[in-house]
Structure 1
């Protein structure tokens, strides 16, 4: 992918901002807890507000991004997030920071992230030939997996050495660097389309108008909702149920991150060998089984579950992105991307709430098994559809 200069600029910007965002994902709750003394309810609200914009603004975001320069959207979103996040350490330094301010930052930054991610994922297929699309998506996902693996550790070091607000200041600077990288991109012309075609539900019609895309959407939505019920409980399960020390919990999380990085690197070859449809189904199956293995409670199997979860996530993530980009016309890609995020990411709010309630009344171990069953239901939808036989060569994404 180093041969594609415009994609390389996009990739560098994504890498920088993803690293900063991974730091803030840890530092923001630390600011709320350590600096402001937030309650568990306030932490839950803060977490939910980062996802709510996908539910509320997802469909309009796709329509709007379809009309304008994707590069300009990314620049504006990066600058906006830099200002928002930069306000946290400034207000903290002068003693004016309040939990309500973090709520506002979480919502507005969530809206800008929605717009930026929609624009960047729409721009990516325009910067590389179709034959390089899978490699480009693998490289793009590599940013996220590396950032999510190293970000928490970096956030911990920055918080320990300086403070949690200082760690957020690092993220603010990362967005400014990302804005510079986006500014340097030479964007191809935005596809022209008659205004009447920019309908709010255009993304839904495109996703559910194709047997392959509809199966992909239903499968991913179901699995994401069930997975969101499981993900927040992993650390709680390891600490309270298994009584693991913090060091061992960190090892388990790192194992998942390293496996995700490896999965991202091998995903293109894996998809070429099996075909994108089978690669998606098998990767999703691996990720779905992790909850059942985790519930065993035996240390070697818990580490194996973490490895399988990280590996499976990457093995299905790369073909899933590539399938959407290859099957959706370019002029509808922004709407489809935003609609996808509304369903798959926005639905995680419901999944996380359901997981918390189930863990309260049924116990964490039972909830892990239930969420595993839910994720397997998503696998079954994909496995029993035309998606399973979707070949890589048919799409020209070799």
Structure 2
């Protein structure tokens, strides 16, 4: 994979790797600031978590319109600088004794908006930085960034919080945006189709592309259903392991680390697997493997639980790489930002609904039976894709060139 990380894509990849690692630290450090430094209540913690997600749901469709109209390179630069200032304000306020929970709320919302714009812009820019034949490998490399950060970041965050205290651990994330700003500044932005006039832009354009294409429609429905179902298991896993199986915190950490390590390993084999079985079947096999974690947890057998986490991590990469590549290949270039943003809105929206339902369902029928619902839901999403033309798709399609009527 390393050979594809070259040229202009190398600059984007390095910047995103550094900023993703810093963001993974903030994912742990910001809630710890609220809990340890400000003694936040359960209600305040819930509000902080919700405000971190809200921008993707409220501004998701708008973000696509903005990204398709603005310079992608400038979006990356200004969103990095904005997050540098916002996150840097927390340790400054803490040092001066001015830090309040309202500031954390504002930081959560505003960094969420900037991250939404940055992620949409980077995925929109990626196809223009690599040849079509390298797109699959480039997406594997991009997903590797996320998986590495998600696996190593929380552990690093815990150590930094212990050494520096929670507010000052955020300095690491703020500093990461200095590096990503520099790399974004050095990128030579690829040419793009002319932006459409304001009168021609419709907020629903990305949704129309997703649901109007014979390949993208089953893909987004499948992914949305699977994301909602999978999110039901996330909030319950730790609770189930500790309260019902009486596992130690060390085992909980091992379980999460196993998933992360498998996801990282999956990014190295995803391209070869796609080449061997085709993009469609790689997506199907990835969803199937990811669905097994719920059944594995239900058994309560330690080796089976760990094996389920291996399957889930591998599966996430095996379906994630073709999923990203197909969005970038099949969407009309002038609407790519809106397509990516619409996808994120639907999938993250599904995850939000699933996570919210998990507690209600578990209260009604118990935690253990609820763990089977993610498996059933993900298999339902798998069935949607398996009964569509997506199943027989083998190679990366030519990028859409026609102007989609919207």
Q: What's the TM-score bracket when you normalise by the shorter of the two chains?
A: over 0.9
1:32 partnered with 2:34: yes
Task: Show the 5 A alignment for 1:173-212.
Answer: 173-195=175-197, 196-212=199-215
The reply on whether 1:263 has 2:266 as its aligned counterpart is yes
CA distance in 2, matches of 1:15, 1:194: 32
Aligned residue in 1 for 2:404: none
Q: Which residue of 1 aligns with 2:46?
A: 44
| 1:2, distance to aligned residue in structure 2 (A) | 4.8
Q: CA deviation at 1:229?
A: 1.4
Aligned residues of 2:4 and 2:138 also touching (Cα < 8 A): no
* Displacement of 1:303: 0.7
| Among 219, 224, 236, the residue aligned to 1:216 | 219
- For residues 333-348 of structure 1, what are the structure 2 equivalents within 5 Å? 333-348=336-351
The equivalent of 1:149 in structure 2 is 151
Alignment of 1:95-244 (within 5 A): 95-195=97-197, 196-244=199-247
| Post-superposition offset of 1:383 | 0.9
Deviations along 1:283-334, one digit per CA (max 9) or x if unpaired, are 0111012111111111111111111111100110000000111111211100
Q: Which runs of 5+ in 1 are unaligned?
A: none
Q: Distance in 2 between matches of 1:289 and 1:312?
A: 9
Question: Of 13, 16, 36, which aligns to 1:14?
Answer: 16
Q: 1:361 to 1:393 in 2, by over 3 A?
A: closer
Give CA-to-partner distance per residue, 1:184-224, whole Å, 9 cap, x none: 00002231143144211110110011111000000011111
**Using the alignment, how far apart are the partners of 1:38 and 1:371 within structure 2?**
31
Gaps of 5+ in 2: 400-406
The number of residues matched between the two structures is: 396
- Partner residue, 1:297: 300
Q: Tell me by how many angstroms 1:3 deviates.
A: 6.3
Equivalent pair of 2:19/2:176 in contact (CA under 8 Å): yes
Supply the distance in 2 between the matched residues of 1:392 and 1:54 (Cα, whole angstroms). 31
Q: Give the superposition deviation at 1:346.
A: 2.6
Residues 1:369 and 2:399 are matched in the alignment: no
Contact 2:240 2:368 in 1 (8 A): yes
CA RMSD of aligned residues (A): 1.3
The Cα shift of 1:41 comes to 2.5
Paired with 1:279 and 1:186, the residues of 2 have a C-alpha distance of 33
2:64 to 62, 65, 71: 62
Corresponding residue SS for 2:57: helix
Looking at structure 2, the residues matched to 359 and 24 of structure 1 have their Cα atoms a distance apart, in angstroms, of: 29
Out of 91-100 and 7-16, give the one that drifted further.
Answer: 91-100
